[in-house]
Amino acid sequence: MVSTIGILGAGRVGSAIARTALTAGYTVHIAGSGPAADIQLIVDIVTPGAVAMTAADAVATADLVILAVPLHKYRSVDPATLAGKIVIDTMNYWQPIDGDLHEFTGDARSSSEVVGDYFPGARLVKTLNHIGYHDLEADARPAGDPERHGLALAGDPETAAVVAEVINRFGFDPVYAGSLAAGAAFEPGSPIFGGRHTARELLIELGPAVAEAA
């Protein structure tokens, strides 16, 4: 059971996820790229209730870790620290921000599969990447609300089931798409990315990816 969430990345995405997790009742530990003191004031103001930590401590004390750093900085995270951890990959490849990263442009696989190669010991799940950080808090709804939106997940079934419960508590209907390869169906440029879909609509958009996972 997940009770403590560690977030690597204290920018807009990480902060929005932190506030959402706090509202959902989770303990939240958040880290930037340096000492905890460097982000303490920002955390106190932007994500009150979260605890600023070093990346190593945030990971070590968490039941689940969320990668919310720019994709071009993912190698700044020590892969050894994530071994055995459930990890949500929220990252997307943005050429204007990330530059021309041949490891992604030259690889036909989903970005999470490439990232997964760098974190071979992590139990990686792709989700929270196709919703805008500004929509995460605004669109959260209780279970059963007709206006509740769905969020897609990709990863191994057992790990995705744990993450699905977190997504549910965040205020969204989790929709399992399949293995990490299925994450390509909701990356930038896809019909799903940036849209607002109910779980039913999301299933229709995912189509073949979900059928393959079934």
Q: Domains in the chain, ordered, with CATH?
A: 4-213 (3.40.50.720)
DSSP string, 17-39: HHHHHHHTT-EEEEE-SS-GGGT
Binning pLDDT at 50, 70 and 90, where does residue 208 land? Answer: low
pLDDT, mean of residues 114-120 = 96
CA distance 131 to 191: 12
> Rounded to an integer, what distance in angstroms lies between the CA atom of residue 122 and that of residue 113?
12
Q: What angle do CA 61, 28, 199 make, to 5 degrees?
A: 115
Exposure string over 131-161, b if 16+ CB within 10 A, otherwise e: bebeebeebbeeeeeeebbbbbbbbeeebbe
Residue 214 scores a pLDDT above 70: no
pTM: 0.94
pLDDT, tens digit (0-9, with 9 covering 90-100), for 32-65 = 988 899 899 999 999 999 999 999 999 999 999 9
Sign of the four-CA dihedral 95, 9, 14, 182: positive
pLDDT above 70 as % of the chain: 97
